[in-house]
């Protein structure tokens, strides 16, 4: 049982409120990503869970046991950080064995675990090498093996892949996810990288200025951001200021006077609306059937991105961004083209103020 609870946890450094009254429940065996801009308190939150920092207020529980004031070595946690942090003067085997010897495990058990976890990170046979004889990606795998070898209740990962190039990072994301699922170890991953959070985590916490902005599964964070901050930080968004037309809950009028059909989803969009760019369809000529929202627009920028093309549009008083899949040969759209944009009424989401 290693569910984690943060209950009103706060930490300041002098005048800086690094974490401001954070409450969070993390299910046993789940994979949580902590996402947010630099300085929002991600590392501080992780360090309090690890026992390297004491909260000013609040409680932290691991597996139902309060650990708020326990030292790190009494928490049974595994860590991997951004910089490889392997001991350069120790062999790979001794690096992986480090935490095991600290725990006074017998030599046979140590050797067995070193073998097991080197195999798990797909580096069997690396025992006698030194860290500087390995690539960056291999070193991060050793750091992971070292963290896992103690068979921790919780694995804490602070930007463990950010020093790797994109291709290797994506491979390691898939591997790490598989290893986590196979072992069922409760995992917290801090990252700047929204794609990493979306692909790896069961749930994502988006933090801003020491507070939790939203917690939810990746699809929910992306498809239904609750606040403008989340919509802006995760993915590309179109925002609409305005209000619902009096007596017409399915009609939204922007402050510039453009109206859109919106799906009635129950709440008043007093904080405005957000629309993801892939919810906009760009037609090169007026379509035969008239959809719910069809507006003439002009293309003001085209950015080819491989799988898709980003198209920025001017629609009356609005600036919009659409993502057009390049299923065949590019989107066939050019700067200054006069086009029609179709917007799915279901694509609009209300934002909280």
Ligand X SMILES: Nc1ncnc2c1ncn2[C@@H]1O[C@H](COP(=O)(O)OP(=O)(O)OP(=O)(O)O)[C@@H](O)[C@H]1O
Secondary structure of residue 235 in the 3-state scheme: coil
Q: How far is CA 72 from CA 199, 219, 353, in A?
A: 30, 34, 40
DSSP string, 291-304: -SSEEEEEEEEEEE
Rounded to a whole number of angstroms, the minimum distance from the CB of residue 193 to ligand X is: 11
Region of residue 265 (phi > 0: left; psi between -120 and 50: alpha; otherwise: beta): alpha
Q: Does 30 engage in binding with ligand X (CB under 6 A)?
A: no
Q: Does 15 engage in binding with ligand X (CB under 6 A)?
A: no
Distinct helix (H) and strand (E) counts, the chain = 8, 21
61 forms beta bridges with 5, 66
Contact 284, 337 (CB under 8 A): yes
Nearer to ligand X by Cβ, of 6 and 117: the residue is 6
Tell me the two tokens of residue 135. 């690539």
Which residues contribute to the site for Mg ion (CB under 5 A)? 43
Nearer to Mg ion by Cβ, of 81 and 340: the residue is 81
Interactions with ligand X, residue window 87-106 (CB under 6 A):
none
147 binds, among ligand X, Mg ion, none (CB under 5 to 8 A by kind): none
CA neighbor of 267 nearest in space, from 190, 341, 351, 171: 351
Kindly give the pairing relationship between strand 211-216 and strand 238-240: unpaired
Contact 323, 278 (CB under 8 A): yes
38 binds, among ligand X, Mg ion, none (CB under 5 to 8 A by kind): ligand X
Q: Does 13 engage in binding with ligand X (CB under 6 A)?
A: yes
| Contact stretch for ligand X (CB under 6 A) within 11-19, 134-142, 143-151, 338-346 | 11-19
Interactions with ligand X, residue window 242-271 (CB under 6 A):
none
Nearer to Mg ion by Cβ, of 43 and 293: the residue is 43
Number of residues that bind ligand X (CB under 6 A): 12
Nearer to ligand X by Cβ, of 17 and 228: the residue is 17
Q: Does 52 engage in binding with ligand X (CB under 6 A)?
A: no
Interacting residue ranges for ligand X, rule: CB under 6 A:
13, 16, 18, 36, 38-44, 192
């Amino acid at each position: 049982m290693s569910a984690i609870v943060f209950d009103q946890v706060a930490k300041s450094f002098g005048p800086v409120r690094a974490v401001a009254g954070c409450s969070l429940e993390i299910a046993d065996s789940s994979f949580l990503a902590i996402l947010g801009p630099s300085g929002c308190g991600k590392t501080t939150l992780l360090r309090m869970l690890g026992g390297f920092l004491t909260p000013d207020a609040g409680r932290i529980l691991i597996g139902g046991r309060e650990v708020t004031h326990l030292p790190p070595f009494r928490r049974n946690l595994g860590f991997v950080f951004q910089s490889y942090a392997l001991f350069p003067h120790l062999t790979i085997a001794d690096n992986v064995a480090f935490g095991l010897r600290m725990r006074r495990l017998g030599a046979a058990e140590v050797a067995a675990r070193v073998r097991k976890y080197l195999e798990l990170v797909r580096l069997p046979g690396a025992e006698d090498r030194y860290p500087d004889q390995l690539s960056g990606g291999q070193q991060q795998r050793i750091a992971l093996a070292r963290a896992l070898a103690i068979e921790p209740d919780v694995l804490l990962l602070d930007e463990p892949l950010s020093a790797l190039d994109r291709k290797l990072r994506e491979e390691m994301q898939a591997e790490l996810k598989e290893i986590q699922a196979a072992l069922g170890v409760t995992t917290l991953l801090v990252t700047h990288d929204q794609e990493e959070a979306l692909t790896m985590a069961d749930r994502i916490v988006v933090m801003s200025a020491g507070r939790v902005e939203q917690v939810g599964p990746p699809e929910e964070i992306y498809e239904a951001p609750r606040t403008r901050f989340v919509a802006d930080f995760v993915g590309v968004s179109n925002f609409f200021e305005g209000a619902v037309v009096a007596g017409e809950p399915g009609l939204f009028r922007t402050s510039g006077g453009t109206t859109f059909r919106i799906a009635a989803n129950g709440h008043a969009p007093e904080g405005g609306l957000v629309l993801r760019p892939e919810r906009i369809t760009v037609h090169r000529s007026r379509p035969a059937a008239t959809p719910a929202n069809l507006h003439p627009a002009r293309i003001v920028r085209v950015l080819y991105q491989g799988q898709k093309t980003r198209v920025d549009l001017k629609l009356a008083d609005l600036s919009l961004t659409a993502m057009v899949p390049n299923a065949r040969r590019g989107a066939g759209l050019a700067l200054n083209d006069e086009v029609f944009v179709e917007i799915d009424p279901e694509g609009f989401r209300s934002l909280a103020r």
